[in-house]
Amino acid sequence: MMEKYPLFQIIDKNGHISSDDYQTEITEENVKWLYYHMLRIRTYDRKGVSLQRQGRIGTYVPFYGQEASQVGSAVAMNDGDWLFPTYRDHGASLAFGADMDRMLMHWNGRLEGCLPSRNKHIMPGSIPIATHLPHAVGVAMAETYKNAGNVSIAYFGDGATSEGDFHEGLNMGSTFSAPVVFFNQNNGFAISMPVEKQMNSETIAQKAEAYDIPGIRVDGMDVFAVYIAVKEAINRARNGKGPTLIESVTWRFGAHTTADDPSKYRDQEQMEQIQNSLDPVSRLERYMQNHDLWDNERLLKCKQIKWLLKSLHQQEEQYNSFISIPVIQCQSERY
């Protein structure tokens, strides 16, 4: 099955191009845009863990290691499309345009943080595993009836593929040829359960066969490969050709949540080696170094981090001065 579903890759771990087919997509502007988003969400993620460790927010769910998967997929969407994230996909939501201030308030347990994002169709991160897949299909079907031309993208993990809702979502999407992309991030674990103990199939992409839709396996640490694979799947969906299942093979470098200790169930030394060789942000930096894009970018990086930390700090200070809004207002602010 690994041969039938080879890993689609454009940039290898040393930052060299491994496929010449998509040269026109890898413009300097695209590189900068993707790098900006990856760095931005990584900084946010670090801040989230740090705020939780200081007792200033509740549980936080880190996505450290999955930045290429989340940015590559979210940036491939059009403004009017619908994003259905899980609890781990706030990186994707931020890259698509979610409000950072509201998102911080969400982690702070504040009602205002649960309001829909301004201007973008971003659903709340689904805590129940896979229940949002049928919802994403339903919204995609509604958009078809309205001739709106928008698609849905549903994010979910490897563990979610063992849930009935995963199969119901794929079956319904395929049967109605709904404009939806099923974007799986296979990070190897469902909390402490390794993927090879959870299922007997070698890949997640092959599960598409049962529903007669395309299944793609992509290197989830390669932001270009993810971007191209999702863009193509979105185009298929928008052109009435139905859903695609994408398996983005990635790694969660951190804990499942701030309430988890991964050293209890996986080899930390091996994890460090994987992190050193596969880190998606470093891979893009190596690509930039190899293509004379590094000096400018390095400057940009410093500026962005300084700016971002300042703005995160200001937002955090505003928490307590926010006036809580009544629940009824939350209900009226719907799509």
Nearer to ligand TPP, 74 or 190 (CB): 190
Min CB(157)–Mg ion separation in Å: 4
SS3 237: helix
Which residue of the chain is nearest Mg ion when measured via CB?
157
Other Cβ atoms within 10 Å of 120 Cβ, number? 17
**Cα 95 to Cα 67, 83, 91, 168, 288, distances in angstroms:** 10, 11, 6, 28, 20
Residue 101: other Cβ atoms inside 10 A: 18
Q: Please tell me the number of Cα atoms within 13 Å of 89 on its side-chain side.
A: 31
Q: Is 187 an interacting residue with respect to Mg ion (CB under 5 A)?
A: yes
**3 state SS of 152:** strand
Rounded-to-integer distance, Cα 275 and Cα 271, Å: 6
| Whole-angstrom distance, CA of residue 18 vs CA of residue 118 | 39
170/190 with CB nearer Mg ion: 190
Contact call for residues 220 and 66 (beta carbons, < 8 A): yes
Please give the residue ranges that form the binding site for ligand TPP (CB under 6 A).
Answer: 88, 127-129, 157-160, 187, 189-191, 256
Is residue 100 within 8 Å of 44, Cβ to Cβ? yes
Q: Is 157 in the site for Mg ion (CB under 5 A)?
A: yes
What is the residue-wise DSSP string for 250-307? ----S-SSTT--GGGTS-HHHHHHHHHHH-HHHHHHHHHHHTT-HHHHHHHHHHHHHH
Pair of tokens at residue 189? 């674990």
Q: Which is nearer to ligand TPP, 193 or 309 (CB)?
A: 193
Which residue's beta carbon is nearest to the bound ligand TPP? Answer: 157
Say whether residue 279 binds Mg ion (CB under 5 A): no
Which of 101, 112, 158, 247 contacts Mg ion by CB under 5 A? 158
Work out how close the CB of 256 gets to ligand TPP at its nearest, in angstroms, rounded to a whole number.
Answer: 6
Least separation in angstroms between residue 69's CB and ligand TPP is 10
- Asked if 18 and 35 touch (Cβ cutoff 8 Å), the reply is no
Q: Which is nearer to ligand TPP, 128 or 149 (CB)?
A: 128
For residue 57, the partner it binds in ligand TPP, Mg ion, none, with Cβ less than 5 to 8 A by kind, is none
Q: Which residues are catalytic?
A: 252, 256, 265
Least distance (Å) from ligand TPP to the CB of residue 320?
A: 30
Residue 128: contacted member of Mg ion, ligand TPP, none (CB under 5 to 8 Å, by partner type):
ligand TPP
Residue type, 154: A
Alpha helices in the chain (DSSP H): 28-53, 67-75, 90-96, 100-107, 132-145, 164-175, 195-198, 223-238, 268-278, 280-290, 294-318, 327-332
What does 42 interact with, of Mg ion, ligand TPP, none (CB < 5 to 8 A by kind)? Answer: none
Q: Toward Mg ion, which CB reaches closer, 124 or 262?
A: 262
Q: Which does 160 bind (CB under 5 to 8 A by kind): Mg ion, ligand TPP, none?
A: ligand TPP
CB of 127 to ligand TPP, least distance (A): 5
Give the contact letters, 116-155, x = binds to Mg ion (CB under 5 A), - = no: ----------------------------------------
Binding mask 190-209 for Mg ion (x = CB under 5 A): x-------------------
The footprint of Mg ion on residues 66-105 (CB under 5 A) is none
Between residues 41 and 190, which has the closer beta carbon with respect to Mg ion? 190
Supply the minimum distance, in Å, between the C-beta of residue 159 and ligand TPP. Answer: 3
Instruction: Report the interface residues with Mg ion, using CB under 5 A.
Output: 157-158, 187, 190
